[in-house]
Structure 1
């Protein structure tokens, strides 16, 4: 596929890296010559220096032949204009734009995708807020991923000493669970390396375990791997009143006791007027005296959501040291996230990786319903909707044990209607099924895509 990416920032670079290894013809446009040169040295891609919204630059980048345009510059206006030019002048079939401004998002959501300049709009702030909400809802979870409109969830937890299943084989999970509760261990990462889960695989302390289960059974399954606090989180402190911090407070304030800490007095005043039930404080998130005055040791979750990685890391570490049981930090630099997560900071949230998954769902050939980028982009969780019939599909009418999956790919389950079917060898795939896959080696994505594509006929 010929793909044109506008913007070589963190998200644009992540998208280019994810797609460059999948036999796509990629061109990246940016105004920063040095950034493009560094990107071209790492990836087998073409680069063009210039403003992505200019027709002449788009023409130079090959927009006439492009099948997909991904506009992820730092400017909403540039992204919108680029999509409009690509639609009217170059007839680019699919145009995806990253939009931050809520009013632009509302317009894009109401527009007819077949006639709108933007085929799909992605909001990093909304995606990060939803991601953090799920982490707060399930204390102890490292990631919580929704599939089939929330009917199934893939949850990552770290196995700790004392967990009922720690030191035991995976096959014993069903024996531990109550009657009527089923789950599937989809993947294990041990010391950063993938371990394909088999029935005789023993779960060890510090393993990062991904399991799939019905939403109502998540806490029950989590309790097999770590001690789950029966008390739900109630008191939250959010540091940073930017777009992410403000939207997170607005979304949570009806269910939790929320405090927002913002350094700018003027911005704090605007946040206080915007929120209904939250307390807004003015101050530095790294001020030890201020955190003590606000009873950080009695706060259930501390969320460092400023636009400064260093401030987020330091304040989260400080909050943890002062007695806050759970701290979540927004960190843009992947190298920083790898250093601190699992130590003093419980969870490091990467905006570009959260955004990347949403973009890939629109970009990937075959258009999977959901794509989540995991383990700093090394693995992916995918929801593939089965289409066609027995003549045109390689998977319809076949049991899971008959599928020729790549070695590092596993199926966690199938959502059929409102029911989650955990992946057992004798489950047969039917048209309309939502198949949830875990791909631990992204080099296998091409094979997985071919398997679930629908053709005129399969031999």
Structure 2
């Protein structure tokens, strides 16, 4: 799969285009507004076209006949759906992904069948971001929580704190402290520099550790690396848009939720739709409102409006006034690295949170999931190994036989219900789900080649 056609040069479309160009895919991106395309054209090696994404003539001019995959992420659900249908009927594009946000449409999955709008995979960014945020609420010590094989294995990113049991100790001592728990640190980022961990690596305060373990054991591992935080009970959300509403809806049965919405008409609707949530009509940068609603007793403040500046300012204000933890959505991905780990504990780029579900469809091989890490600098992939020793570079071989390139790290295997941490003598079997960590984007092609099945395999 090498020719990718992207419809819509918004934040998601632009982020995916940038990522794919870095990996040497041939990318064409279409948007109705030339201004959205100019910046991409100036800094990336791709083709751009101004036009209506639902026009057969525009799609043909964009190269739909030769496209291996179409990604429709314009702001309009209807345009995305029609574009996928046209791509299927007129141009026989093999794989079509479309963004749909309208819950009325999402409630009718039959609309996406090949006989209707022919969307192979529906993308709902608001739900992806909501699920991401729920995982952070449920694991307050983590900066990121990644599930593999429906949660049988997890990778979490945690920051080493001064009072953590493992602070100042070597990684090998984790096995001594947790003798019945098999875990694997696959990466350490120290002052934004990647360190490949081994048993002699000494953990320092501020290190971001990427650690993998069976889901049932992860809490124990987190306590050793980070320490245990007080359970979250009181949550305040700023912004009652798609993400804020979905998050409150997901959490209101188990947490005390307050939701601030600046639009009074929207606030009234939210109050009816969320009976267990206290909805406040007001400005999330209003110090008086924070004081009246006891922000100093809030365990978690989430800034989820559509305005980056408001999210940054309200997040900083909430932290200053006593909120224990702050998470903010930041759409400008370059701001994320500047803000995370300061007074804003977790800065989240929606485009980066969404991109993994798209990349899983672009990558070659039987890839179950792709997780973008460190703002796209690294990836964790779940890949199913197929074939046999004669047709595969990995099946029937021990890890030490693979001669893995630098930056590519096989972390674990999931075999049935069993999670096996990878050691040098671990044998990969057919149909194993293999979890691979790649610390640099240039390693992705090597992963695809490693797991490719030779011709002749049936």
What band does the TM-score fall into relative to the shorter chain?
over 0.9
SS where residue 206 of structure 2 aligns? coil
How far is the alpha carbon of 1:173 from its aligned partner? 1.5
1:34-183 equivalences under 5 Å are 34-108=35-109, 111-112=112-113, 116-177=117-178, 179-183=179-183
Q: Distance in 2 between matches of 1:44 and 1:266?
A: 45
Measured in 2, the distance between the counterparts of 1:388 and 1:249 equals: 45
Post-superposition Cα deviations, 1:179-214, rounded to whole Å, max 9, x if no partner, equal: 421210011111112111122222222111100011
Change (3 A) 1:367 1:100: farther
Q: Secondary structure at the match of 2:199?
A: coil
Partner of 2:217: 217
Confirm or deny: 8 A CA contact 2:84 2:117 kept in the other structure: no
For the residue of structure 2 that corresponds to 1:354, the secondary structure is helix
**Structure 1 position 18 matched with structure 2 position 12:** no
Q: CA deviation at 1:254?
A: 1.3
1:4 and 1:27 in contact (8 A); partners too: yes
Q: Confirm or deny: 8 A CA contact 2:7 2:71 kept in the other structure.
A: yes
CA distance in 1, matches of 2:77, 2:208: 37
Shift of residue 241 of structure 1? 0.5
Match of 1:353 in 2: 352
Distance 2:365 2:409 in 1: 19
CA distance in 2, matches of 1:113, 1:358: 21
| Residue-by-residue CA offset, 1:224-275 (whole Å, 9 max, x unaligned) | 222212x421111111110000000001111111111111111111111111
CA distance in structure 1 between the aligned counterparts of 2:62 and 2:81, rounded to whole angstroms: 18
Equivalent residue, structure 2, for 1:340: 339
Partner of 2:436: 437
CA change 1:327–1:187 in 2 (3 A) is same
In structure 1, the residue corresponding to 2:64 is in which secondary structure? coil
1:425 aligns with 2:424: yes
Higher deviation after alignment, 372-381 or 36-45: 36-45
Provide structure 2 residue ranges, at least 5 long, that are not aligned to the other structure: none
SS of equivalent to 2:393: coil
Displacement after TM superposition at 1:156 (Å): 0.3
Moved segments of 4+, more than 6 Å: none
Which residue of structure 1 lines up, in the alignment, with residue 404 of structure 2? 405
Is the aligned partner of 1:315 residue 2:314? yes
State the match for 1:453 in structure 2. 452
1:35 is displaced (CA, Å) by: 3.0
When residues 114 and 416 of structure 1 are mapped into structure 2, their CA distance, relative to the original with a 3 A threshold, is: farther
Aligned-residue offset at 1:290: 1.2
Query: Which residue in 1 is equivalent to 2:32?
Result: 31
Counterpart for residue 231 of structure 2: 232
Structure 1 residues 47 and 190: CA distance shift in structure 2, 3 A: same
Can you give the 5+ residue segments of structure 1 that lack an aligned partner in the other structure? Answer: none
What is the CA distance between 1:322 and its match in structure 2? 1.1
Instruction: Provide the rounded CA distance (Å) in 1 between the counterparts of 2:425 and 2:111.
Output: 43
Q: CA deviation at 1:391?
A: 2.6
1:278 aligns with 2:277: yes
Structure 2: distance between partners of 1:428 and 1:128: 36
Whether the 8 Å contact between 2:302 and 2:315 is mirrored in structure 1 is yes
User: 1:108–1:121: 8 Å Cα contact kept in structure 2?
Assistant: no
Instruction: State the Cα RMSD in Å.
Output: 1.6
1:336 is paired with a residue whose SS is helix
Note the alpha carbon deviations across 1:33-88, whole angstroms, 9 max, x for none.
Answer: 23323212222111111111100000001101111101111111111111011000
Query: Does the 8 Å CA contact 2:82/2:117 hold for their aligned counterparts?
Result: no
Structure 2 counterpart of 1:258: 257
**Hey, what's the Cα distance between the residues in 1 that align with 2:334 and 2:428?**
40
In structure 2, distance between residues paired with 1:272 and 1:222: 37
**After alignment, is 421-430 or 51-60 more displaced?**
421-430
Answer whether contact 1:368 1:384 (CA < 8 A) is retained: yes
Q: Distance in 2 between matches of 1:49 and 1:78?
A: 15
Q: 1:165-204 to 2 correspondence within 5 Å?
A: 165-177=166-178, 179-204=179-204
Measure the CA separation in 1 of the matches of 2:287 and 2:110.
43
Deviation sequence 1:71-113 (CA, Å, 0-9, x none): 1111111111110110001111100011111222233477446
Alignment size in residue pairs: 456
The answer (yes or no) to whether the contact 2:156–2:211 under 8 Å persists in 1 is: yes
